[in-house]
Amino acid sequence: SRLMTALKNLGKLDTSDVIAPVVVLTMDKDTESLGRYQKMVAELRAAGIRSEMYLGGAGMKAQLKYADRRGSPVAIIQG
């Protein structure tokens, strides 16, 4: 995503020591939205940023807890 690339270029997001992935949280579960979120994860990975998309059916609170348990430095909320 442009945001992650900009943060990385500005030195605000150092990915060299990051072990945990950036987690993309999904609020909209329709096929079109999920496709966009998967594309975002692919773009993050192409930029060298470990990332994953939350695939469960839980709400935002549970998804944020998931990202926290993963040790994610950033959670991107989409939808």
Instruction: Report pLDDT digits (tens) over 53-68.
Output: 998 888 999 999 999 9
**Please, how many CA atoms are within 13 Å of residue 70, restricted to the half-sphere of its CB?**
23
Where are the chain's structural domains? 2-78
Angle at 10 between CA 45 and CA 5, to 5 degrees: 25
The pairing of beta strand 75-78 with beta strand 22-26: parallel
Under DSSP, the state recorded for 72 is: -
Q: Which CATH architecture has domain 2-78?
A: 3-Layer(aba) Sandwich (3.40)
Query: Which DSSP string corresponds to 50-66?
Result: -EEE--S---HHHHHHH
Read off the pTM. Answer: 0.70
Q: What is the pLDDT of residue 17?
A: 64
